[in-house]
Copies of this chain bind each other. A is one copy, B any other.
Amino acid sequence: MNQKKNEPSVARKPRRRKEARPAEIVVAGIIEFEEHGFAGAKLSRIAQKAGIAKSTIYLYFESKEALFIAAIEEHVASVMGESEAKLFSEEGTTRELLLGLLQNMYARFVHGEAQALFRILLTEGDRLPDLISEYHALTIQKGSTLLKKILARGLERGEVRPGPHLEIPHVLIAPAIYFAVHKMMFRSAQPLDFEEYFEAHTDVLFHGVLTG
């Protein structure tokens, strides 16, 4: 059973790691999956990005699909984790609370790492219904719940006018998502100026839902 193939040759440079490897592979994987999608991603390129051999990936992940899922899962957790509890601080005017929420959203989806994740899930989400649900819960669900609270509080304080937006707050943050989408599609063709856009968004939003 022992044929004499695999005569390896000389000179390799295998310094050890171990705990670090999986994370490195995941990082390289995220980049590759974001650039090429699942089908277009190549394990050889991921390995290259991570500075290892292709076969090394299989020491830590069972398959391309397994790596994909692990990578997305970790990214969902790490990117969407913290920093939402303090947003609803009960202090400040409704205007200030909304402004803080929007700044947070733009920071995440337009400037931050969440954009890559957003793009991957938008593209490849059909194969990952569970992750989509989790992502939905961590972003849209959580965000709109928070928004509803802010609006309800504002209504009590007389700062927010009544209307259907109290139940469908998505409409209010939609321009932020639109900006992210626009950036993904048209960043080469015709980029939007962020400062102007942000001002237009808040301006319309405030005039649209605030009293006075």
Provide the bound-state CA to CA distance between A207 and B198, in Å: 18
Q: How far apart are the CA atoms of A181 and B118 in the complex, in Å?
A: 11
| Complex CA–CA separation, A172 to B172 (angstroms) | 10
Provide the bound-state CA to CA distance between A177 and B181, in Å: 9
- Given A171-B197, A175-B175, A181-B181, verify A132-B186 contact (CB < 8 Å): yes
Shortest distance between the CB of A115 and any CB in chain B (Å): 13
Q: Which of A35-74 contact B (CB under 8 A)?
A: 36-40
Of the candidates A40, A171, A177, A192, the one having the most CB atoms from chain B within 10 angstroms of its own CB is A171
Contact of A132 among B121, B133, B189, B203 (CB under 8 A): B189
CA distance A20 to B157 in the complex (A): 65
Report the Cα distance A161→B207, complex, angstroms. 10
Q: Pick the interface stretch among A21-29, A82-90, A162-170.
A: A162-170
**Does A104 touch B at the CB level, under 8 Å?**
no
Q: A38-B40, A203-B165, A207-B207 are in contact. Are A178 and B189 (CB under 8 A)?
A: no
Which single residue of chain B is at the shortest CB-CB distance from A174?
B178
A110 smallest CB distance to B (angstroms): 13
Q: Which of A131-171 contact B (CB under 8 A)?
A: 132-133, 136, 140-141, 161, 163-165, 167-168, 170-171
Q: How far is the CA of A109 from the CA of B200 in the complex (A)?
A: 23
Binds B, one of A8-16, A91-99, A122-130: A122-130
B136 touches A190 (CB 8 A): yes
- Could you tell me the distance between the alpha carbons of A204 and B172 in the complex, rounded to whole angstroms? 8
Q: A132-B185, A170-B192, A190-B136 are in contact. Are A123 and B204 (CB under 8 A)?
A: no
B39 touches A204 (CB 8 A): no
Query: What residue of chain B has the Cβ atom nearest to residue A205's Cβ?
Result: B208
For A136, list chain B residues within 8 Å (CB): 185-186, 189-190
A sample of 5 cross-chain residue pairs with beta-carbon separation below 8 angstroms, ordered by A number, consists of A37-B37, A141-B190, A181-B181, A204-B205, A207-B209
